[in-house]
Structure 1
Amino acid sequence: MGTGQRRVIVVGAGSGIGAATAAHFHARGDYVLAVDVRPNETPASKHLQVDLRDPEAITALLTEIGPGWDLLAHVAGVPGTAPANDVLLVNYLGMRLMTEGILPLMNHGGAIVAVASVAALGWEQRAGDLAGLLDATDPEAVVTWQAGQDPAYPVYSTSKQALILFAKRIAGPAWTKYGVRVNTVSPGPTDTPILVDFEASMGKDVLDMAKAAVGRHARVDDVVPVISFLGSPDAGWINGQDLHVDGGFLSSLTAGTPIQL
């Protein structure tokens, strides 16, 4: 990835953080392929549609776009209010299939940045529980796995935990074989169109607590520069990391009693 025009794919470019990410790279003069499940007016060089629940659609997309890409910003996701199987198929499996499929099409020195969530808190402790999901590489296997899970455990959290685990496990091989880095960004609650879905699935009280802890929810403009940085040569020695972009919210929960100032 040089400093000239880069070839960037943004998946989930229709709204929210994805739209802002596509607009950011477009404004920089990069060639931006905006991918979403629905048609949209996001500023980009080209628009394509894909349903991430459909592996054949992902394969068709990858065949159509061909090689020579510098960055995949995978931002697409559905909230916990969606059907459980869709949450896993879009947030985990769709991201996985896009990542595995794009790696051979990427330029050496490229990067993949996927958006996870602070809702993935605790993924380290659940690595064993998620082993079966990480073995699932097609929709049928994902659906079968979910059928055996505790329906009370939030599937959105599961989907983002699996995304982070997958990204960390593929980061080493992606670097060794393709010279491509793989990292994730975990925003806290962000003012986007799906915030109301998160209020419904996680509870407004939880989101209000997050807001009170750090003073406000994130804006897309808080998150996009971090995606841009992780995708740039400036982050050339950062690989396999999950970067929290949450104003310090998780640290306030996990690091013990705050030191009073």
Structure 2
Amino acid sequence: MNFEIDSFRADLFAGKHVLVSGATSGIGLAIASAFHRLGAHTIATGSSTTKLTALRDEQSLVGIRFATLDVRNASKISAFVGELPRLDVLVNAAGVARPHDEYQDDVFSDVLDVNLRSVMRLSQAARPLLEQTRGSIVNIASMLSYLADADVPAYCASKTGVVGLTRSLAHEYGRLGVRVNAIAPGYHRTDMTRIFWESDDLSTKIVSRTALGRWGEVDDLVGAAVFLASAAAAFVTGVTLPVDGGYVSGF
């Protein structure tokens, strides 16, 4: 039983159309799967052909449309979104980190391109469709929107930018009836954080600072995403909701 999903009405998003970028693994895939289980017509995009092929064969994910999309390419985004018949929810979950290498100019630029500029590209492309449905956008920020990590300066900068962009788009799109919010994950078990949760020393330090005393799982982010996209958050916009078990508020 998945309590994160079972907390919501099973047909909550029936008839709705949801697009999730960066959804071939981790956070994006968990969120795409959640919307699908709640009745939405869900499209999950990624850039890895190998991952997309494997996911299409996954029995538990049957019904989700997996599609290739390079979020760094504005023209491909416009063409892709332009073919959609309807859109109620956009989740911008595409993200990368290149520890230690982000001090190189080309790497720094590429991380910002994927993590920050793609949010603007997809949001702008989706704007007309979301206006028609009075839909919403959920962006994925990070605890590093507020904290520093010297190993990933581009990641920190891009995720901090997501928070600011979320506020700006909320005010720009709000007059159209479109809400824009973000989630700031903490330490969740994903491939990106594997180096931390596979190390006993590093994992212990993380858990000891986290108020709830454990690692987050990707499913812990599902409820926040569904809530922000639902009618229950009809008067919520421009906010970034921390889902970090109390890590940022710790010491």
Q: Same fold by TM (over 0.5)?
A: yes
The residue matched to 1:185 in structure 2 has which SS?
Answer: strand
The residue matched to 1:218 in structure 2 has which SS?
Answer: coil
Match of 2:208 in 1: 212
Query: CA 1:247–1:4 in 2, change beyond 3 Å: closer, same or farther?
Result: same
In structure 1, give the amino acid aligned to 2:91: A
Query: CA 1:152–1:15 in 2, change beyond 3 Å: closer, same or farther?
Result: closer
Give the structure-2-normalised TM-score.
0.80
Match of 2:75 in 1: 56
Match of 1:158 in 2: 157
In structure 1, give the amino acid aligned to 2:43: L
Alignment of 1:119 onto 2:117 = no
Report the Cα distance in structure 1 between the residues aligned to 2:200 and 2:193, rounded to whole angstroms: 10
Residues 116-169 of structure 1: per-residue CA shift (max 9 Å, x gap): 10001069xxxxxxxxxxxxxxxxxxxxxxxxxxx9871110010111111111
In structure 1, give the amino acid aligned to 2:48: R
Report the Cα distance in structure 2 between the residues aligned to 1:205 and 1:120, rounded to whole angstroms: 24
Alpha-carbon offset, residue 241 of structure 1: 0.1
Give unpaired runs (5+ residues) of structure 2. 1-11, 102-106
Match of 1:85 in 2: 109
Match of 1:70 in 2: 88
Q: Which moved more, 1:240-249 or 1:71-80?
A: 71-80
Contact map agreement 1:80 1:154 (CA 8 A) in 2: no
Match of 1:171 in 2: 170
In structure 1, give the amino acid aligned to 2:174: W
Contact map agreement 1:186 1:242 (CA 8 A) in 2: yes
Match of 1:110 in 2: 135
Report the Cα distance in structure 1 between the residues aligned to 2:127 and 2:137, rounded to whole angstroms: 9
Alignment of 1:12 onto 2:22 = yes
Match of 1:94 in 2: 118
Query: CA 1:56–1:220 in 2, change beyond 3 Å: closer, same or farther?
Result: same
Query: CA 1:221–1:56 in 2, change beyond 3 Å: closer, same or farther?
Result: same
Report the Cα distance in structure 1 between the residues aligned to 2:179 and 2:232, rounded to whole angstroms: 12
Report the Cα distance in structure 2 between the residues aligned to 1:76 and 1:211, rounded to whole angstroms: 26
Query: CA 1:198–1:89 in 2, change beyond 3 Å: closer, same or farther?
Result: farther
Q: Percent identical across equivalent pairs?
A: 31
Query: CA 1:198–1:115 in 2, change beyond 3 Å: closer, same or farther?
Result: farther
The residue matched to 1:230 in structure 2 has which SS?
Answer: helix
The residue matched to 1:72 in structure 2 has which SS?
Answer: strand
Residues 57-101 of structure 1: per-residue CA shift (max 9 Å, x gap): 2122122224x2110111110013372222100000011110111
Contact map agreement 1:92 1:162 (CA 8 A) in 2: yes
Report the Cα distance in structure 1 between the residues aligned to 2:48 and 2:33, rounded to whole angstroms: 17
Residues 192-243 of structure 1: per-residue CA shift (max 9 Å, x gap): 12213678xxx99776533221222210111111101101000111100000
Residue-pair matches, total: 221
In structure 2, give the amino acid aligned to 1:100: Q
Query: CA 1:53–1:207 in 2, change beyond 3 Å: closer, same or farther?
Result: farther
Report the Cα distance in structure 2 between the residues aligned to 1:205 and 1:167, rounded to whole angstroms: 35
Query: CA 1:21–1:252 in 2, change beyond 3 Å: closer, same or farther?
Result: same
Aligned-CA RMSD value: 2.5
Give the structure-1-normalised TM-score.
0.77
